[in-house]
Amino acid sequence: MEQALLNLFENTSGGFAYALVFGILLLCGLGLPIPEDVSLILGGFLVFESKALLVPMMLTGYLGIIVGDSLVFTIGRRFGSRIGTSGGFLARIFTQEKRQRVAALFARHGEKIVMIARFLPGVRAVTYFTAGSVHMRYSHFIFFDSVAALVSAPVFIYLGYKFGGELEQLIHAVRNGQIRVLIGLAVVVTAYVVVSRLWSRWRRGSQEKKDAAAASTVAPPTQPTTPESGRSAP
């Protein structure tokens, strides 16, 4: 697979280079067995060979990841409840066994598993599919997914650009998990701490706004009536 991707990338440049990276990442997000990290590294390799620019390629990588993940999330939301009975293409990709594994991860880690799954290729797509099928709020999903994608895309593209002259060794290290594990651990630990704090503040602020809105809808107490001025006593 890596060699086929390399042959494809070697024959592209300019605007088509960005379109190719975006399209492949889109397919990765939909669950096709294409290595996302290697695709990002090859995007960086195009920068190394002066066939693309670094920052636009990083942006392309990020957008390709987010759009692909959002698509599979939407598919999960619309068809997730029927996949067990309908069979077909989705059932072959998002098998019951995989969905059960992800359900256990959701139970253990909560919504933050969306962020962690970025570095777990075996369950990545099915995690986002499951997030949609259980009707996780899209704003929550895109928040956690973006945190990981903002690290994953730039880092792997930069690695491909920086070590383009040693591409085979780099891909070998990534496929063996040597680099992915280090990056994944660093990102997950750092992001978990940062996101947990930001998430707590956001939830607290959101709850305070709801409480304030609820308080403003409560009718004021009725004022006691006073006798009309000038009215004679009985």
**What are 122-156's pLDDT values in tens digits?**
778 888 888 888 888 999 899 989 988 988 899 89
Q: What is the pLDDT of residue 222?
A: 54
Which of helix, strand or coil describes residue 177? coil
Segments in the chain below pLDDT 70:
1-2, 81-93, 121, 177-197, 199, 216-234
Residue at 215 is within a domain = no
State how far the alpha carbon of 99 is from the alpha carbons of 132, 157, 162, in Å.
12, 30, 37
Q: Which domain holds residue 73?
A: 2-204
Residue at 196 is within a domain = yes
Tokens of 199: 């998430």
State how far the alpha carbon of 16 is from the alpha carbons of 39, 43, 52, 164, 168, in Å.
15, 11, 10, 19, 23
Residue at 222 is within a domain = no
Residue at 209 is within a domain = no
pTM of the predicted protein model = 0.71
The domain tally of the chain equals 1
Q: What is the pLDDT of residue 55?
A: 95
Please state the length of the chain. Answer: 234
- Asked if residues 95 and 78 have their Cβ atoms less than 8 Å apart, the reply is no
Residue at 187 is within a domain = yes
Residue type, 111: E
Residue at 74 is within a domain = yes
- Closest alpha carbon to 3 in 168, 152, 128, 164: 168
Residue at 231 is within a domain = no
Residue at 234 is within a domain = no
- Asked if residues 29 and 125 have their Cβ atoms less than 8 Å apart, the reply is yes
How many CA atoms lie within 13 Å of 71's alpha carbon, on the beta-carbon side? 15
- Closest alpha carbon to 6 in 121, 167, 157, 159: 167
Q: What is the pLDDT of residue 233?
A: 47
